[in-house]
Amino acid sequence: MKATLSALVLSLTLALPALAKDKEVAGVKFPETLTVEGKELKLNGTGLRKKMVFKVYAAGLYLETPSKVGSEVLSSDQIKVVRMSMLRDLEKAKITEAITDGVTKNNKAQLPALKERLDKLNAAIPDLKKGDDLLITYVPGKGTQVRSQGGKELLLEGKDFADALFGVWLGSNPVDDGLRDGMLGKED
């Protein structure tokens, strides 16, 4: 009995550091790693999107090769994931407006080439409820997959589109400077 109890305490003690590696933002847990296409991605950073005084969503950026430089992340041809976890209900129109504004601010010259894919993305995004996740995953050679609870799963081709979409958070004109810095691991 004493040996069993000691083994249990030892195993829990060893497990706690592994559990502690998850990062928590506004009550949302982000695991230290994700596996996509058989490759392990590391949590590059997390952040909180606020609009005025409201907490809108917590976001995490996962990369094969972590970086604190937004332009490096955007130009690299590696698997990338942005996980957005809603902290409040968001109507489709608000989400698509924010994405369209972010893509436009960071890609004015490329907008004509991106417009058709941006329209497809906007059509596929549903209303999101508190606790829902929106996952955006870029895989080189395949494209950008967008998944959400209750929404359509969509695959959009082209690294140019992935760069434009990830630029909403990591570009020179991000939706939120503090969120960008957090996702780039600058606020840890």
Rounded CA Rg of the chain: 18
The mean pLDDT value for 71-90 works out to: 96
Please choose, from the candidates 58, 88, 71, the residue with its C-alpha nearest in 3D space to the C-alpha of residue 171: 71
Cα 167 to Cα 107: distance, rounded to the nearest angstrom: 9
Write out the two tokens for 154.
Answer: 């969509």
Could you tell me the fold of the domain covering 20-183?
A: Chalcone isomerase (3.50.70)
Give me the percent of the chain exceeding a pLDDT of 90. Answer: 82
The pLDDT of residue 179: 95
The pLDDT of residue 8: 35
Write the burial class of residue 90 (CB in 10 Å: 0-12 exposed, 13-18 middle, 19+ buried).
Answer: buried
> 19 pLDDT band (50/70/90 cuts)?
very low
Listed range (11-20, 73-82, 139-148) with the worst mean pLDDT? 11-20
Tens-digit pLDDT profile for residues 117-148: 999 999 999 999 999 999 999 999 999 999 99
> 188 pLDDT band (50/70/90 cuts)?
low
Question: pTM for this structure?
Answer: 0.86
Tens-digit pLDDT profile for residues 48-62: 999 888 999 999 999
